[in-house]
Amino acid sequence: MKNFVYFDYGGSHTSVIAAGIHAGLLDPHNPPDDKALSQFPYFDETTPDDFGKMKHLGTHPEGHRIYCLGTKSSTTGPLLEGMAELQNAAGQFIFCDTMPYVNTTLRIGGWLSRGIGLSVLGRPLVYRGIRKEYGKIADFVKACAHHQGGNKN
Amino acid sequence: MLRLVLITKGGIKIKYLLVGKDSLLATMIVAHGLMGFDEVAADKDFVDKSHQQSGSIISVGKDSIGNEIFCAIHQYPGIVVRINEEIKMLKESPVSELRTIPVLTDLGGVPFLIALSRLPGIGAWFDNWARSSVLSRKQQLIEKGQVLRVMNEPGMEPQGRPAAAKPQI
């Protein structure tokens, strides 16, 4: 049993969607519509207190626990892996960086919605940005799960 | 003293991860203070620039009783402390071998120089300037590490409370 941690800067968009796909809460082949995204747990809901907290999205049928994480940094992968190693837990954690899937639309939408609290303006952009990258995120989740030994359904 | 002997005889070693905000060089100098050094022969090549930018953890060495010291950089050290606690809670054996210590230092304009050091071409010049500025504060940084050493003395909880002694069998 492993802990899969999908992480990005804010921990509320690409990491949540990737974790949702891996946990089987989202169909990897069909991007969710606006309503489904707005109701999805933790999606576009980060508060400053959430940074650094691993939020549990679900458990894979094989027992792997799936989390999302906001690190407030764009280069945290080596640090996270190093910390797990220093805690003698490197084999128990798989850290997957979803920052490469944060496109410009998502950046602007995320900043408007979570950064300055204008979710009315930001959310439509966030939805559009996520749908644009959805296929790539689904492929990444598949690759992450398979390469790291956690078979995805 | 008795407490120290009991801990080292039991083989309990702590790993310290010092997390600086801006400069890895400054954090490593603080780490040497934590390890008990009064002086450190740090120069501009003490830390490779790639380490500063990679975000990976650097091993500094061991202190006199064998605790291992590591350094890393994150813009928000408090977040690293929280992530470490999360890893501790989720892993199978919740005994923590790693103690994270945020290192908050007043480095004046160094963070700005470090940001400029990422510029292509002229970045190296700003990098040198940043390193010189950090080295000019070397003694102050070592003293900061020595204060952290006292605050994180073995057998003490991070808040400075003595650890509860286990009865001897």
- Give which of A8, A15, A87 to mutate to test B binding, by max B Cβ within 10 Å: A87
Tens-digit pLDDT string for chain A (153 aa): 899 999 999 999 999 999 999 999 999 999 999 999 999 999 998 888 899 999 999 998 888 999 999 999 888 899 999 999 999 888 899 999 999 999 999 999 999 998 888 888 999 999 999 999 999 999 999 998 886 644 443
The nearest alpha carbon in chain B to A64 belongs to: B90
Question: How far is it, in rounded angstroms, from Cα B136 to Cα B139?
Answer: 8
Q: Which two tokens stand for residue B92?
A: 């199978």
Contacts of A84 in chain B (CB under 8 A): 87, 91
The nearest alpha carbon in chain A to B83 belongs to: A52
Q: Is the pLDDT confidence value at B39 over 60?
A: yes
Question: How far is it, in rounded angstroms, from Cα A84 to Cα B114?
Answer: 28
Amino acid at B163: A
Residue B145 and residue B137 in contact, taking contact as beta carbons nearer than 8 Å: no
Q: Which two tokens stand for residue B44?
A: 């501009």
Give CB contacts under 8 A, 24+ apart, made by A45-51: A45/A12, A46/A10, A46/A11, A46/A12, A46/A70, A46/A114, A50/A11, A50/A12, A51/A11, A51/B76, A51/B79, A51/B82
For residue B44, what pLDDT is reported? 62
pLDDT one-digit tens code per residue, B130-162? 888 888 888 889 988 888 888 876 544 443 333
| B54–chain A nearest CA distance, Å | 7
pLDDT one-digit tens code per residue, B12-25? 678 999 999 888 88
How does the average pLDDT of chain B come out, rounded? 78
User: Side-chain half-sphere of A48: how many Cα atoms within 13 Å?
Assistant: 5
Question: How far is it, in rounded angstroms, from Cα B53 to Cα B117?
Answer: 10
In three-state secondary structure terms, A104 is helix
Q: Is the pLDDT confidence value at B88 over 80?
A: yes
Q: Which two tokens stand for residue B6?
A: 């009991």
Question: How far is it, in rounded angstroms, from Cα B150 to Cα B34?
Answer: 8
Inter-chain residue contact B57 with A83, CB threshold 8 Å: yes
Amino acid at B91: K
Contacts of A9 in chain B (CB under 8 A): none
The nearest alpha carbon in chain A to B15 belongs to: A86
In three-state secondary structure terms, A8 is strand
Of B80, B82, B88, nearest to A87 by CB-CB distance is: B88
For residue B11, what pLDDT is reported? 59
Mean predicted confidence (pLDDT) in B67-90: 93
Amino acid at B82: R
CA B103 to chain centre: 7
Nearest to B27 by CA among B120, B165, B164, B138: B138
Inter-chain residue contact A79 with B55, CB threshold 8 Å: yes
CA distance readout (Å), B23 to A2, A20, B87: 34, 36, 25
The nearest alpha carbon in chain A to B73 belongs to: A79
Q: What is the ipTM of this complex?
A: 0.89
- Give which of B22, B83, B89, B97 to mutate to test A binding, by max A Cβ within 10 Å: B83
Of A52, A78, A88, nearest to B83 by CB-CB distance is: A52
3-state secondary structure chain B: CHHHHHHHHCCCCCEEEEEECCCHHHHHHHHHHHCCCCCCCCCCCCCCHHHHHHCCCEEEEECCCCCEEEEEECCCHHHHHHHHHHHHHHCCCCCCCEEEEEECCCCCCHHHHHHHCCCCCCHHHHHHHHHHHHHCCHHHHHHHHHHHHHHCCCCECCCCCECCCCCCC
Amino acid at B55: G
Residue B5 or B64, more confident = B64
For residue B138, what pLDDT is reported? 87
Q: Which two tokens stand for residue A85?
A: 């190693």
| B162–chain A nearest CA distance, Å | 23
